[in-house]
Structure 1
Amino acid sequence: MRVIHRIAELRQALAGSSATAFVPTMGNLHAGHLALIERARKAGGPVVASIFVNRLQFAPHEDFDTYPRTLERDCELLRKVGCDFVFAPNEAELYPQRQVCTVHPPADLADILEGHFRPGFFIGVCTVVLKLFNCVQPRYAIFGKKDYQQLLVVRQMVRQLALPIEVIGAETARADDGLALSSRNGYLDEVQRAEAVYLSRELRAIDSAVRQGRSDWASLESAAMDALSARGWRPDYVAIRRRIDLGEPAAGDAVVVVAAARLGATRLIDNLELSAVS
């Protein structure tokens, strides 16, 4: 495995490849990231993982400065699962000037849910992802479904800009108790980690209710919010939306429930594609 820090060196290393598979990350890797690498290997070409903590997608009050930087450990993990190249630029390499050219995804998708509670987040995501796409020039890009809205936003950007990239959504990796794997799970203390599983349990409770024929979305959402609040969480949203664009569902739509809530100082997100619809 080769670790590369310069854009020019990366382009030279990948020159001539028509099947590069790319997994963008912010590092502090866990088993979910490694599953994305394993999915990327199925494409048959070189596999590239990027490690870059992107300042543009952090609000001033968020954890950019304290976000764990674990490059040496991350590279060792990537080596073990067959990654071919790690692109780990520093900030000056990726942003040699103040980034004033940015990508603004459409508000009807990007300014709801996560975008409502984290204004500007998807501008930062799209800007860095497009820049990384330009550096790597992949044929395939693999994103985890845990960040469901992010996956949809990136797919729309790729379609709108006619990028020759297939965006692949990989299933959410979970711990044995059902907690969605996330780099921010490391912020949880022992008691919080035991409690954290209740976010996924509330989503499964909604799925169970829908299986039984319920379609009173607002009531199901409110009940889940109340249940989390009663346990000491501070939920931002629990929302049942259309899978295709996170709009309000109508009868017959395939739907997903998405959620974000704070447990102590840690903000966790999760989602579940519902198995039955009205």
Structure 2
Amino acid sequence: MKRITRKEDLTSLLLQYKQEGKRIGLVPTMGALHQGHLSLVQQSLKYTDVTVASIFVNPTQFNNKTDLLKYPKPIAEDIAKLEQAGCHILFHPEVDEMYPEVDEPWEYEVGELDLLLEGEFRPGHYKGVTQIVYKLFKTAIPDVAFFGQKDYQQFLVIKKMVNDLHLPIQLKSCDIIREADGLAMSSRNIHLNPEERLAALSLSKALLFIKDNYNLLSIDELKQQANKFFTGSNLLNLEYLRICNPDNLYDLQEKGPAIALIACFVGTTRLIDNMMLA
């Protein structure tokens, strides 16, 4: 696996591959890799000729500086996992490489998706996400970019940006990878102590309840019953539990295609999860 830290070096190499007719796949990550990330690498290896994984903890998408400082950065372990997975290229730049002192301001407006759910609770988050993803797209010039469904709203935001800016990139959303007990894999899970780890199962249990009862209960009843998974524990602080239209994340008004989404603090660790319902 090649390790590259400079943008121009990566672009130059990938342009050579493109001239040979090879398709480029990009897996953008912030590191602390788990099987969910590696499943994206596996998808890229399946659908493209050259797989690039990026590891960059992007400061502009953190509205909580404490969250940024404590974000895990086990780079040696990440490199070993990518090599074992068969990844071809790791792009691992420093902050000043992606954000030089002389840098054009990022003026893209996310729109309504920036006001809902994650946008409501993490103002400015998606401005930072679109900024870094655009930079990675321009640098890695991928034909296909792979994202996990766990960050479903992020995928919709990036899809909108690709359409708005007419970027010639195919996006693939890949299934959530879960632990055997149902907990969605996340880089943040490392911060959970054993008691919090057990309490965190409330997220997947609530989502599974909604899915199993989607055709039996009303939307209000589903939310009322699912909220009960988060009562009675001082470890859980639910931010939102919503049942939404999967195309725009508006609250669902009548039964049809739907997605349930949750954000919850477990102790001091904020986790998100979601599940398609129909």
TM-score, scaled relative to structure 2 = 0.94
User: How does 1:130-141 map onto structure 2 within 5 Å?
Assistant: 130-141=134-145
Instruction: Supply the distance in 2 between the matched residues of 1:45 and 1:10 (Cα, whole angstroms).
Output: 16
Letter in 1 for 2:166: A
SS in 2 for 1:22: strand
Let me know the Cα RMSD of the aligned residues: 1.5
Instruction: Supply the distance in 2 between the matched residues of 1:171 and 1:77 (Cα, whole angstroms).
Output: 20
Aligned-pair distance for 1:252? Answer: 5.2
- Report % sequence identity: 36
Aligned to 1:2: 2
SS in 1 for 2:68: coil
Instruction: Supply the distance in 2 between the matched residues of 1:260 and 1:103 (Cα, whole angstroms).
Output: 28
Superimposed CA distance per residue, residues 85-143 of structure 1 (whole angstroms, 9 cap, x where no aligned partner): 00000011110126562254433112110010000000000000001100001000000
- 2:33 pairs with one of 29, 33, 40: 29
Aligned-pair distance for 1:42? Answer: 1.2
Instruction: Supply the distance in 2 between the matched residues of 1:223 and 1:151 (Cα, whole angstroms).
Output: 28
Aligned to 1:266: 269
Aligned-pair distance for 1:6? Answer: 0.5
- Is contact 2:110-2:127 (8 Å) kept? no
- Is contact 1:105-1:126 (8 Å) kept? no
Superimposed CA distance per residue, residues 205-243 of structure 1 (whole angstroms, 9 cap, x where no aligned partner): 11112132x2x3233223323430323310000000011
Instruction: Supply the distance in 1 between the matched residues of 2:114 and 2:149 (Cα, whole angstroms).
Output: 16
- Is contact 2:259-2:276 (8 Å) kept? yes
Instruction: Supply the distance in 2 between the matched residues of 1:98 and 1:174 (Cα, whole angstroms).
Output: 42
SS in 2 for 1:234: strand
- 2:117 pairs with one of 96, 113, 117: 113
Instruction: Supply the distance in 1 between the matched residues of 2:220 and 2:51 (Cα, whole angstroms).
Output: 43
- 1:209 pairs with one of 210, 213, 223: 213
User: How does 1:184-263 map onto structure 2 within 5 Å?
Assistant: 184-212=188-216, 214=217, 216-232=218-234, 233-251=236-254, 253-263=256-266
Instruction: Supply the distance in 1 between the matched residues of 2:219 and 2:277 (Cα, whole angstroms).
Output: 12
Aligned-pair distance for 1:255? Answer: 0.4
SS in 2 for 1:59: coil
Change (3 A) 1:105 1:143: farther
Number of residue pairs aligned between Structure 1 and Structure 2: 273
Superimposed CA distance per residue, residues 157-200 of structure 1 (whole angstroms, 9 cap, x where no aligned partner): 11111100001000000000000000000000011112211210
Identify unmatched segments of 5+ residues in structure 2: none
Aligned-pair distance for 1:19? Answer: 1.1
Instruction: Supply the distance in 1 between the matched residues of 2:105 and 2:256 (Cα, whole angstroms).
Output: 36
Identify unmatched segments of 5+ residues in structure 1: none
Runs ≥4 in structure 1, deviation > 4 angstroms? Answer: none
Instruction: Supply the distance in 1 between the matched residues of 2:102 and 2:126 (Cα, whole angstroms).
Output: 18
Instruction: Supply the distance in 2 between the matched residues of 1:248 and 1:264 (Cα, whole angstroms).
Output: 27
Instruction: Supply the distance in 2 between the matched residues of 1:103 and 1:39 (Cα, whole angstroms).
Output: 32
- 1:126 pairs with one of 123, 130, 142: 130
Aligned-pair distance for 1:244? Answer: 1.1
Aligned to 1:95: 99
Superimposed CA distance per residue, residues 238-277 of structure 1 (whole angstroms, 9 cap, x where no aligned partner): 00001111123243531000000001001110000003xx
Range 235-244 or range 221-230, more displaced:
221-230
- Is contact 1:229-1:235 (8 Å) kept? no
